[in-house]
Amino acid sequence: MHYLYAKDFAQWRAQARDMLARGLTPLDVAWEASEQQSFFTATLPPAPSSTIEINVPKTFLALAKTIACHRSDKRWDLLYQLLFRLHCGEKNLMHIPTDPLMYALLRMHKAIRRDAHKMKAFVRFKKIEDESGEHYIAWHEPDHRVTPMVAPFFSRRFSSMRWAVITPDDSAYWDGETLDYGPGLTRDAAPSGDALDALWRDYYRATFNPARIKLKMMKSEMPVRYWKNLPETKIIASMLAEAPERVEAMLAHTQAMPDSAESFLPVLRDLAHLREASKGCEGCELHRQATQTVFGEGPENARLMLIGEQPGDEEDKTGHPFTGPAGQLLDEALTFAGIRREEVYITNAVKHFRFLYKDSFRQHQSPSRYHIQACKPWLIGEIAAIKPQLIVCLGNSAARSLLGSGFTMKNGRGILHPHLPPVLATYHPAAILRAPAQERASLRTFMFDDIQHAARNINADSGNNKHRFGIE
């Protein structure tokens, strides 16, 4: 038996190639945990006079480099077994996860990948300042030797910081340009706390949901062994104690909020009364930040009804639906289909603008299923008042308000759905304007053709002697 010691993957690789070239099987060699234990009990066979060719899949090198990070003393022996079997002709071995050797190696690989993920998630930097400026130092205790695997991630993520990640095995250092490695250190080499700890605790408290406490899952995602190094875990006990009271407060707040516009609808449901009553709607929270309610517009006897998603920034300011860039594209589609805009009724599934502020700009945010459901009484009121022959829904949100949450544009666009009245869905003009340039032309064609298809269906139902769109 020949006993070896490898401090890293590069050294093991060189040793393994040499052992394989000498014809030694896994039963002939063993790798020891320390250099002091490595020795030879027999004379090595002579090395071949010429270099032998060792062909292994690229996936072997990737797997071997990862397994090298495992803390098990058996990692080098298992990798040599795999290398030997691949070299001897078992080319498909790495595709057989049920093989005992592959099963063991894949379990080790999974453990390392999980440990690397935990390191990315649970490293907490502490800020220190000296004569050279700010530095950030973190202490972490990984299960395996994953620092070289994870450190490049930190150098990309925190490229403008000067930082160090210290572990018992090794340490990584980034000076803003170069990533270096050093020996492992003890816990007292890193600061014990700083102002950043309070920020972590504030963030954790803000994201903690007292109504969805699952301790088992939490401990699975944030194992208890890491808690001693995480500042936010210091408040877990107090947050759990406060949870029942916070849940009661949330329920009280929810019960105080209306969950539908139904109670705001007037007794008389003609368009004039609906429009006037909608100005005071507080059926969901969107009324708080929107400028005004944007109700539908068009003749009360319109045969075609168009439903969009919600008002945009321009519509929220003017109080009229489809007045911005999306409205201009819609006007083009109506003209293409031979329809005058003043002949159709145009509205939205949600009557208030939902948005987020971004650099003082109001950025569109799609309404949720809750908002669509809360606002649906207004839409049903409009449909009942107008009694259109056909409805065209522009976009997924509008279509789902009538056809259900399972609707997809991919499967449901351009066809007449058996609804009362019938519903045809197509792309929203705003979605076309936001689409990549290479897709915009085709989406535009789809929408134009779909609206023309809707016009033809209404004209066909109207009879030859009745009024048609665009024709007196």
pLDDT values of the chain reduced to their tens digit, one per residue, 472 residues: 888 999 999 999 999 999 998 889 999 999 988 776 555 555 667 777 667 788 888 899 999 999 999 999 999 999 999 999 999 999 999 999 999 999 999 999 999 999 999 999 999 999 888 888 889 999 999 999 999 999 999 999 999 999 999 999 999 999 999 999 999 999 988 888 776 787 777 777 777 777 667 778 777 778 888 888 888 888 788 888 888 887 777 666 555 455 689 999 999 999 999 999 999 999 999 999 999 999 999 999 999 999 999 999 999 999 999 999 999 999 999 999 999 999 999 999 999 999 988 877 888 899 999 999 999 999 999 999 999 999 999 999 999 999 998 999 999 999 999 888 999 999 999 999 999 999 999 999 999 999 999 999 987 765 543 344 443 3
CB 141 within 8 A of CB 115: no
- Does one domain contain both 129 and 9? no
Q: Is residue 472 part of a domain?
A: no
- Does one domain contain both 324 and 430? yes
Give the domain-ending residue among 168, 189, 210.
189
- Does one domain contain both 205 and 281? no
Give the domain-ending residue among 189, 208, 238.
189
- Does one domain contain both 79 and 162? no
Q: Is residue 273 part of a domain?
A: yes
Q: Which range of residues forms the domain containing residue 67?
A: 2-117
- Does one domain contain both 320 and 239? no
Q: In angstroms, rounded to a whole number, what is the distance separating the alpha carbons of residues 139 and 226?
A: 11
Q: In angstroms, rounded to a whole number, what is the distance separating the alpha carbons of residues 423 and 415?
A: 8
- Does one domain contain both 449 and 402? yes
Q: In angstroms, rounded to a whole number, what is the distance separating the alpha carbons of residues 79 and 29?
A: 12
The CATH number given to whatever domain includes residue 424 is: 3.40.470.10
Per-residue model confidence (pLDDT) at position 211 = 67
CB 141 within 8 A of CB 170: no
Per-residue model confidence (pLDDT) at position 82 = 96
- Does one domain contain both 243 and 165? no
Q: Is residue 268 part of a domain?
A: yes
- Does one domain contain both 443 and 302? yes
CB 162 within 8 A of CB 174: yes
Per-residue model confidence (pLDDT) at position 197 = 81
Per-residue model confidence (pLDDT) at position 191 = 85
Q: Is residue 426 part of a domain?
A: yes
Single out the residue of 182, 178, 248, 183 nearest to residue 210, CA to CA: 248
Q: In angstroms, rounded to a whole number, what is the distance separating the alpha carbons of residues 70 and 223?
A: 19
- Does one domain contain both 327 and 202? no
Q: In angstroms, rounded to a whole number, what is the distance separating the alpha carbons of residues 428 and 398?
A: 9
Single out the residue of 165, 161, 173 nearest to residue 135, CA to CA: 161
Question: What DSSP line would sit under 20-60, residue for residue?
Answer: HHTT--TTTEEE-SSGGG--BSSPPPPPPSSPPP----HHH
Place of tokens 């700010």: 134
Q: Is residue 32 part of a domain?
A: yes
- Does one domain contain both 208 and 336? no
Q: In angstroms, rounded to a whole number, what is the distance separating the alpha carbons of residues 138 and 150?
A: 13
Q: Is residue 469 part of a domain?
A: no
- Does one domain contain both 305 and 164? no
Is residue 439 exposed (0-12), middle (13-18) or buried (19+ Cβ within 10 Å)? exposed
Q: Which bin fits 414, alpha (ψ -120 to 50), beta or left (φ > 0)? A: left
Give the domain-ending residue among 167, 189, 211.
189
Degrees, nearest 5: CA angle 318-352-385: 90
| Number of domains within the chain | 4
Question: What DSSP line would sit under 389-421, residue for residue?
Answer: SEEEEESHHHHHHHH-TT--HHHHBTSEES-SS
Ranges of H-type helices in 235-270: 236-256
Q: Is residue 468 part of a domain?
A: no
Q: Is residue 471 part of a domain?
A: no
- Does one domain contain both 31 and 58? yes
